[in-house]
Structure 1
């Protein structure tokens, strides 16, 4: 496991709902996940931290947000855990299609979150499956897939940031944020 940001379940859920509602209320898992990836990447590069805090796994068809995928698989009924009614009331998942049952709670999303989500939606909503695969198979994805010691293919936050050429000052800020998250978690465990 690498240094990670703390996952924000509210931001994860309401980011997915936001994306779905902007895409007409439904979309396929692949498109949702790529839009979330590019939105998190934009937010990371601009503000020094991602929107959701979800961590990304380099899967064969590109980065996949782990917690987001777990929630949607549970709703679909093919996960090791059962989806709570709370999640089932928000989404319907049929095969690879996700349908929003509610609007996002905009109080869960900051203005900067919405800005990056809207940019990622605008840039990726009309891309085909293969175009999204090609666009997301960049250096961070390749590094995670090719690292033999990285058994779960988790993508490093710093590699995701480097992919969009963040400057050294921002990269240091990102790494300091991750270090602080780790220290806070360790302190909370005492």
Structure 2
């Protein structure tokens, strides 16, 4: 699949930012937008028509949302590491936030989602698209497509789907552990042209997002 190309000026801008911007040098390379991740799940809950989703189902749909976004636009919705786990592919930081491994109040997660209970994760209220300011129109489009295709499946059907190499060939059996899923491998299996270059472009955009986030916090 051919994706839009970006002008040389963008690369030049990224070089200047990396070289001279103080906020850039302070930016955490492992930063994660927990607020956006929570909004992705809150939107999927809203699509379900209920007030909560099964945790495993929510995690699977988040991964499939990233996959759909890469397929459509060459960029994932969320900036985070993805791993193969025994129940299939997982967005690592989203998974850890769902499990309460971070301060969910401080990162903005609990503004949208309640702590998981009885294998469910619930929204704090009914949200409209306008409430979910971290999600772009492209993000919403991809999540709508994922819900239309997979929203009717339960968690175990989604586990089976993501274990099938015909469906998600980038997943590998981790034998009880976890194995990173490189973004480039996802792109190659999704037939993205010039996958290595596209990964570099994604990383540049994500880096720029982190710079702006750092500037806003100062």
- TM-score normalized by structure 2? 0.67
Matched residues in 2 for 1:131 and 1:156: separation? Answer: 25
Q: 1:179–1:122: structure 2 CA closer, same or farther, 3 Å change rule?
A: closer
In structure 2, stretches of 5+ residues that fail to align are 1-28, 212-218
Q: Does the 8 A contact of 1:62 with 1:136 survive in 2?
A: yes
Q: Does the 8 A contact of 1:5 with 1:181 survive in 2?
A: no
Output aligned runs, 1:32-181, within 5 Å: 32-74=58-100, 79=101, 81-84=102-105, 86-92=108-114, 93-102=116-125, 103=127, 105-137=131-163, 138=165, 139-142=169-172, 145=174, 152-164=178-190, 166-169=191-194, 171-178=195-202, 180=204
Q: Per-residue displacement from partner, 1:133-155 (whole Å, max 9, x unpaired)?
A: 2221232111x737xxxx74121
- Per the alignment, residue 40 of structure 2 pairs with 15
Matched residues in 1 for 2:33 and 2:109: separation? Answer: 15
After TM superposition, give the deviation of residue 56 of structure 1 in Å: 1.6
In structure 1, stretches of 5+ residues that fail to align are none
Q: Name which one, 1 or 2, has greater alpha-carbon Rg.
A: 2
Runs of 4+ in structure 1 displaced over 4 angstroms? 181-185
